[in-house]
Amino acid sequence: MKSFTYERAETLEQAAGIVAANAEAKFIAGGTNLLDLMKLEIETPRHLVDINHLGLDRIEETEDGGLKIGALVRNTDLAADVRVRRDYAVLTRALVAGASGQLRNKATTAGNLLQRSRCPYFYDPSKPCNKRDPGSGCSALEGHSRTLAVVGTSDHCISQHPSDMAVALRALDARVNVMSARGGEKSLTLDEFYRLPGETPHIETVLQHGDLITGVTLPKPVKGVHFYRKVRDRASYAFALVSVAAVVDEDGREGRYAFGGIAPRPWTAGGEARAEGGASVIAARALDGARPTGENVFKLPLLERTLKAVLKDAAQTSGK
Amino acid sequence: MLFDKPSPPNPADQGKIFGKPHPRIDGPKKVTGTAPYAYEYKLAEDNAVYGFLLGSSIAKGRIASIDASLAEKAPGVLLVLTHENAPKHKPENSRAAPQLQGPEIKQYEQAIAFVVAETFEEARAAARLIRVTYRTEDGAFVLADEKDKGKPTKTAPDTATGNFDKAFAEAEVKVDVTYTTPDQSQSMMEPHASMAVWEGGKLTVYTSHQVLHWAHAGIADTLGLDEDKVRVVSAYIGGGFGSKLEVYSDPILSSMAAIKLGRPVKTALTRPQIYNHTTHRPATIQHIQLGADRDGRLTAVGHRTWSGDQEGGEPETASEQTKLLYGGENRRVETRLTVLDLPKGGSMRAPGEAVGMLALECAMDELAEALGMDPVDLRIVNDVQYDPEKGPERPFSSRKFVECLKTGAETFGWSARKSKPGSVRDGDWLVGMGVASAFRKNIVQESGARVRLMPDGHLVIETQQTDIGTGSYTMLGMIGAEMLGLPLDAVDVRLGDTDFPKASGSGGSWGANSAGSGVYYACEALRKELARKAGFNAESVSFSDGRIISGGNAVALTDIVRTGAVEASDKAEFGDLTEKYAQASFGAHFAEVAVHAFTAEIRVRRMLSVCAAGRIFNPVTARSQCLGGMTMGIGAALMEECVVDPRYGYFVNHDLAEYQVPVHADIPDLDVIFLDELDDQSSPLRGKGVGELGICGVGASVANAVYNACGVRVRDYPVTLDKIIGRFDL
* pLDDT tens digit sequence for B705-726: 999 999 999 999 999 999 999 9
CA A191 – CA A206 distance, rounded (Å): 10
Closest Cα in chain B, distance from residue A11 (Å): 31
Query: So where are chain B's domains?
Result: 2-20+444-575, 352-442+583-723
Return the amino acid letter for B658. E
Q: Which chain B residue has its CA at the smallest distance from A302's CA?
A: B599
The CATH class given to the B352-442+583-723 domain equals: alpha beta
Smallest Cβ–Cβ distance between A301 and the set B75, B596, B726 belongs to: B726
For residue range B494-538, list pLDDT tens digits in order. Answer: 999 999 999 999 999 999 999 999 999 999 999 999 999 999 999
Q: How many CA atoms lie within 13 A of A54 on its CB side?
A: 24
CB B691 within 8 A of CB B511: yes
Closest Cα in chain B, distance from residue A41 (Å): 9
Exposed/middle/buried for B169, CB within 10 Å: 0-12, 13-18, 19+?
Answer: exposed
Closest Cα in chain A, distance from residue B500 (Å): 40
Per CB-CB distance under 8 Å, the chain A contacts of B720 are: 233
A300, A302, A311, A317: best mutation site toward chain B, by most B Cβ within 10 Å? Answer: A302
CB burial of B73-100 (b: ≥16 within 10 Å; e: otherwise) equals ebebbbbbbbbeebeebeeeeebbbbbb
Per CB-CB distance under 8 Å, the chain A contacts of B600 are: 302, 305
For residue range B368-402, list pLDDT tens digits in order. Answer: 999 999 999 999 999 999 999 999 999 999 999 99
Helix or strand holding residue A218 (H, E): strand A212-218
Closest Cα in chain B, distance from residue A180 (Å): 34
Q: Which chain B residue has its CA at the smallest distance from A42's CA?
A: B128
CA B520 – CA B568 distance, rounded (Å): 11
Closest Cα in chain B, distance from residue A28 (Å): 19
For residue range A99-155, list pLDDT tens digits in order. Answer: 999 999 999 999 999 999 999 999 999 999 999 999 999 999 999 999 999 999 999
Name the percent of chain B lying above pLDDT 70: 100
CB atoms within 10 A of CB B282: 30
Nearest to B520 by CA among B550, B483, B562, B469: B483
Smallest Cβ–Cβ distance between A231 and the set B125, B599, B645 belongs to: B599
Could you tell me where the beta strands, DSSP code E, fall in B227-321?
230-233, 265-268, 284-292, 298-309
Q: Kindly give the pairing relationship between strand B284-292 and strand B173-181.
A: antiparallel
CA B257 – CA A281 distance, rounded (Å): 65
For residue range B322-334, list pLDDT tens digits in order. Answer: 999 999 999 999 9
Would you say residue B99 has pLDDT above 60?
A: yes
Mean pLDDT for B255-270 is 98
Would you say residue B673 has pLDDT above 80?
A: yes
Smallest Cβ–Cβ distance between B647 and the set A39, A118, A143 belongs to: A143
Mean pLDDT for B180-199 is 98
pTM: 0.98
Name the percent of chain A lying above pLDDT 70: 99
For residue range B284-317, list pLDDT tens digits in order. Answer: 999 999 999 999 999 999 999 999 999 999 999 9
Given this model, what pLDDT does residue A182 score? Answer: 81
- Hey, are the CB atoms on B657 and A238 less than 8 Å from each other? yes
CB burial of B118-129 (b: ≥16 within 10 Å; e: otherwise) equals bebbbbbbbbbb
- Residue B314 annotated as catalytic: no
Helix or strand holding residue B135 (H, E): strand B131-136
Given this model, what pLDDT does residue B713 score? Answer: 98
Tell me if the bond preceding B718 is cis, omega within 30° of 0. Answer: yes
Smallest Cβ–Cβ distance between B601 and the set A39, A231, A239 belongs to: A231
CA A22, A23, A28, A31 torsion-angle sign: negative
Name the percent of chain B lying above pLDDT 90: 98
Return the amino acid letter for B206. Y
Per CB-CB distance under 8 Å, the chain A contacts of B428 are: 309, 312
The CATH classification of domain B2-20+444-575, taken from the options 3.30.365.10, 2.40.37.10, 2.30.30.110, 3.50.30.10 = 3.30.365.10
Nearest to B402 by CA among B437, B434, B366: B437
Q: For chain A, what is the mean pLDDT?
A: 96
Given this model, what pLDDT does residue B402 score? Answer: 98
Q: Is B669 helix (H, G, I), strand (E, B) or coil?
A: strand
Smallest Cβ–Cβ distance between A305 and the set B598, B664, B666 belongs to: B598
Interface of A to B at Cβ within 8 Å reads 1-3, 39, 41, 118, 120-121, 123-124, 126-127, 139, 142-144, 146, 231-239, 241-242, 298, 301-302, 305-306, 308-309, 312
Torsion of CA B648, B190, B635, B633, to 10 degrees: 120
Tell me how far CA of residue A1 lies from CA of A202, B133, B149, in angstroms: 20, 22, 44
CA B388 to chain centre: 26
Closest Cα in chain A, distance from residue B93 (Å): 34
Given this model, what pLDDT does residue A282 score? Answer: 98
The per-residue DSSP string of B485-544 comes to T--GGGEEEEESBTTSPP---S-TT-HHHHHHHHHHHHHHHHHHHHHHHHT--GGGEEEE
Tell me how far CA of residue A180 lies from CA of A173, A185, A208, A221, B338, in angstroms: 21, 6, 8, 28, 61
Given this model, what pLDDT does residue B633 score? Answer: 98
Closest Cα in chain B, distance from residue A201 (Å): 21
Where residue B628 falls among pLDDT bands split at 50, 70, 90? Answer: very high
Interface of B to A at Cβ within 8 Å reads 57, 75, 121, 124-125, 128, 272, 428, 596, 598-601, 603, 638-639, 643, 645, 647-648, 652-655, 657-658, 660, 662-666, 720-722, 725-726
DSSP annotation of B227 reads: G
Would you say residue A3 has pLDDT above 70?
A: yes
- Hey, are the CB atoms on B638 and A233 less than 8 Å from each other? yes
Q: Is B177 helix (H, G, I), strand (E, B) or coil?
A: strand
Return the amino acid letter for B684. P
Where residue A252 falls among pLDDT bands split at 50, 70, 90? Answer: confident
- Hey, are the CB atoms on A127 and B648 less than 8 Å from each other? yes
Mean pLDDT for B91-113 is 96
Given this model, what pLDDT does residue B603 score? Answer: 98
B639, B652, B659, B719: best mutation site toward chain A, by most A Cβ within 10 Å? Answer: B652
CA B701 to chain centre: 20
- Hey, are the CB atoms on A306 and B598 less than 8 Å from each other? yes
CA B100 – CA B150 distance, rounded (Å): 30
Which residues lie below 8 Å from residue B154, measured CB to CB, with a gap of 6+? none
Per CB-CB distance under 8 Å, the chain A contacts of B113 are: none
Number of CB pairs, chain A paired with chain B, less than 8 A apart: 91
Would you say residue B355 has pLDDT above 80?
A: yes
CB A259 within 8 A of CB A304: no
CA B531 – CA B539 distance, rounded (Å): 9
Q: Which of B316, B366, B641, B692 is labelled catalytic? A: B692
Would you say residue B120 has pLDDT above 70?
A: yes
Would you say residue A320 has pLDDT above 70?
A: no
Tell me how far CA of residue B558 lies from CA of B431, B494, B537, B561, in angstroms: 62, 21, 19, 5
Least confident of A247-251, B363-367, B638-642: A247-251
Q: For chain B, what is the mean pLDDT?
A: 97
- Hey, are the CB atoms on A3 and B666 less than 8 Å from each other? no
Smallest Cβ–Cβ distance between B645 and the set A144, A232, A298 belongs to: A144
Q: Which chain A residue has its CA at the smallest distance from B660's CA?
A: A234
CB A43 within 8 A of CB A34: yes
- Hey, are the CB atoms on B658 and A120 less than 8 Å from each other? yes
- Hey, are the CB atoms on A305 and B658 less than 8 Å from each other? no
Smallest Cβ–Cβ distance between B121 and the set A1, A118, A233 belongs to: A1
- Hey, are the CB atoms on A309 and B663 less than 8 Å from each other? no
A237: left (phi over 0), alpha (psi -120 to 50) or beta: left
Closest Cα in chain A, distance from residue B281 (Å): 20
Could you tell me where the beta strands, DSSP code E, fall in B557-713?
566-574, 584-596, 602-612, 644-645, 650-651, 669-674
A126, A239, A293, A312: best mutation site toward chain B, by most B Cβ within 10 Å? Answer: A126
Per CB-CB distance under 8 Å, the chain A contacts of B656 are: none
- Hey, are the CB atoms on B428 and A298 less than 8 Å from each other? no
CB atoms within 10 A of CB B492: 15
Q: Which chain A residue has its CA at the smallest distance from B665's CA?
A: A235
CB B102 within 8 A of CB B60: no
Q: Which chain B residue has its CA at the smallest distance from A2's CA?
A: B125
